[in-house]
Amino acid sequence: MSSSKSPSDYGLVNDAVALDCQRLPPTTLSAIRGELQRVLGEYASGGEYEPISVEKVFLQTADNLADLGIFSKPQVVSDEVVGNRRFVELGRLLQLPRPDYGVPTEIARAVRLTLWDYVLEGILAPTTKENDHRPGQSWFHFDTLRLTPHGVLSLLGSNQLIRVYDSDGYLQNFWSVNPAPDHGMMRYLSESVSVFRGGHLLGCVVLLGAASERLIDVLADVLRVAQGSPQGDTWFEGKYKRKAISDRFGQVCGVLGGQFGAQLKSADLEEPLQGVVKLTFEEIRLARNDIAHSQGRDFTQNEVAGLLHHFVPYFLYVNKIIGLLRP
């Protein structure tokens, strides 16, 4: 892994590899994404914003998956008896066989593919390295990755592990909060999770987009009341209602920043609005729009799982704003 020069060398962007990974049980795929998120979350919470070793992240995730019983750790690697020692420790002591380091191939491929999905989702970004043969020039370097600002906010925006294949557990992230979520939004979201488990990825994205749109409409209605009458009603009827969702979202952000900015700042919600909320809204809106385009778009299971993951902190921040402004 550490000698690779491009993502294709990791086997991350090969369609056959992606298809092979999707044959893994849904619980295994969810565990892989969850444990990789846990590892990256530890870097984010520890302020680790310098380049992160891809090899180390891979080995840490492998250790977590072995602890969960996803696979049995080999007792002998490279003719060495390893016993119960951690992969991270062995990576320092031995020349583990690459690219899988003793991890079952299908699991190792799924970890690498999920890691690359985090790059595509903007949570991780490749670092740069000086070109030794051409001074003053640099190239992308995939031996290490760094957390993006969006990635840090996304990873820290959820204080618990989110397993999208566990419908009841996933939806509990929403039902357990105060104020209670809108039932219309929850119907869309419940259906989105249900069709995701059935492998209907396009349907999941469309329903998740509907849930996102409903969430913004609920926030707009709270803003209508918070502005008072007749100002709020005039704004809602004249500038918000019957507009495209992107325009409606822009109106909501404009009123929040213009009239309620001080309240958001005092509640530590100004930065999440500009970061997690705006980025996730756009991510889901664009994904849904791509489906309707003439060329269409295909999604991998990991991509859609990522959208479901991101919807949780997105909702939690919007819901906090609703609770702040609701009488």
CB 2 within 8 A of CB 55: yes
Give the pLDDT score at 7. 44
Does the pLDDT at position 17 exceed 60? no
Neighbours of 134 (CB within 10 A): 9
Structure tokens at 270: 């100004």
Bridge-based pairing of strands 124-130 and 80-81 is: unpaired
Asked whether the whole model's pTM tops 0.85, one would answer: no
Tally DSSP H helices, then E strands, for the chain.
15, 5
Which range is least confidently modeled, 115-119, 162-166, 210-214, 308-312? Answer: 162-166
Give the pLDDT score at 288. 93
User: Who has greater pLDDT, 247 or 86?
Assistant: 247
pLDDT band at 281 (very low <50, low <70, confident <90, very high): very high
Give the pLDDT score at 289. 92
Which range is least confidently modeled, 93-97, 188-192, 262-266? Answer: 93-97
C-alpha–C-alpha distance, residues 146 and 125, integer Å: 5
Average pLDDT, stretch 6-25?
54
Does the pLDDT at position 82 exceed 90? no
Average pLDDT, the chain: 83
What's the helix, strand, coil split of the chain in %, to 5?
A: 65, 5, 30
Closest CA to 155 of 2, 309, 16, 268: 309
Specify the amino acid at residue 218.
V
C-alpha–C-alpha distance, residues 280 and 284, integer Å: 6
- Percent of the chain scored above 90 by pLDDT? 44
Burial of 238 (0-12, 13-18, 19+ CB in 10 A): exposed
Give the pLDDT score at 137. 57
Domain spans in the chain, listed from the N-terminal domain onward = 7-156, 167-325
Average pLDDT, stretch 5-9?
43
Cα angle: 122, vertex 127, 129; to 5 degrees: 160
C-alpha–C-alpha distance, residues 137 and 314, integer Å: 39
User: Who has greater pLDDT, 62 or 21?
Assistant: 62
Which range is least confidently modeled, 40-44, 61-65, 230-234? Answer: 40-44
Cis peptide before 99 (omega within 30 of 0): yes
Highest mean pLDDT among 36-40, 132-136, 175-179, 181-185: 181-185
pLDDT band at 251 (very low <50, low <70, confident <90, very high): very high
Average pLDDT, stretch 265-276?
94
Using one digit for the tens of pLDDT, what is the confidence trace for 94-151?
A: 666 777 888 899 999 999 988 888 888 778 888 876 555 666 555 666 788 988 877 8
C-alpha–C-alpha distance, residues 223 and 249, integer Å: 12
Does the pLDDT at position 312 exceed 50? yes
Residues making up the chain, counted from first to last: 327
Give the pLDDT score at 122. 79
C-alpha–C-alpha distance, residues 4 and 11, integer Å: 10
C-alpha–C-alpha distance, residues 15 and 12, integer Å: 9
